[in-house]
Amino acid sequence: MCGRFSLNVDAAELQKMIPDLMVDEEVVERFNIAPTQQIATVLNTPERKLTFTHWGLIPSWAKDTTMSSRMINARGETVHEKPSFRAPFRNKRCLILADGFYEWQTIPGQKTKIPMYFRMKSGLPFAFAGLWDCWRSPEDETIESSTIITIHPNELVAPIHNRMPVILPKERIDLWLSDAKQSVEDLRKCLVPYPAGEMEAFRVSTNVNSVRNDDSSLLMPLFGG
């Protein structure tokens, strides 16, 4: 599961990662992004434009928005088969922009889980593989929403959690963002754990447990205790 992440970079850094990215909206620093909030996204539309989507997929056929909170993640192993994700996997893929994410480690005999923060050793931003959809309410309100695809963990994440978000290397971004028809087989090749050797992790404060906390102190490494 991926349930919290951060994006603490400026537009110029995002444009280095995606050279043709159009950024018309302000990118606000976020250190504790949570489900149902608005997240920075690039849809697979002809224009690669930074937009913001609701985190928690609302399928176009849904009667209401209640299922959104249960759709923050999609399992990479079955995403091409599940009714809620099958069509978006083929036609509505997206990047969800981040520079780190959190997972919680369960310690035998302890009630409190230990929050860990994962990021690139380079400190650069990266892109989760995501899916998006557009839902229209009976009152003609339109909501664009998204979900993060997860997969089995790499060697760095595995001791902490049994899932990790799919992070796309730069060479896979064009395929994932293509608005042309792609084979399921080629798309599924994107859904693999990111190389552990390019990442690092450290323990952080349990202050991250509360969505009300959203400042840079959450990213300070915590040792011992």
Render pLDDT for 93-136 as a digit per residue (tens, 0 to 9): 999 999 999 999 988 888 889 999 999 999 999 999 999 999 99
Residue 16 main-chain phi, psi, to 5 deg: -70, -35
Note if 185 is an active site residue.
Answer: no
pLDDT (tens digit, 9 = 90+) per residue, 15-68?
Answer: 999 989 999 888 899 999 999 999 999 999 999 999 999 999 999 999 999 999
Q: Whole-angstrom Cα distance, residue 69 to residue 73?
A: 9
- Average pLDDT, stretch 160-164? 96
Give the number of other CB atoms < 10 A from CB of residue 101.
23
Q: Check 2, 94, 144, 190 and give the catalytic one.
A: 2
E-strand spans in the chain?
4-7, 30-33, 38-43, 50-55, 73-75, 93-98, 100-105, 114-120, 126-136, 142-151, 164-165, 167-168, 199-203
pTM of this structure: 0.96
Predicted pLDDT of residue 140: 86
Residue 1's pLDDT is 75
Q: Give 151's contacts (C-beta < 8 A, 6+ positions apart).
A: 75, 76, 77, 163, 164, 165, 166, 191, 192, 193
* Domain regions of the chain by residue span: 4-219
Q: How many residues does the chain have?
A: 225
Give me the catalytic one of 13, 25, 26, 103. 103
pLDDT at 123: 95
Question: Which range among 4-8, 40-44, 138-142, 157-161 shows the weakest confidence by mean pLDDT?
Answer: 138-142
Q: Which CATH architecture group holds 4-219?
A: Alpha-Beta Complex (3.90)
Residue 25 is a catalytic residue: no
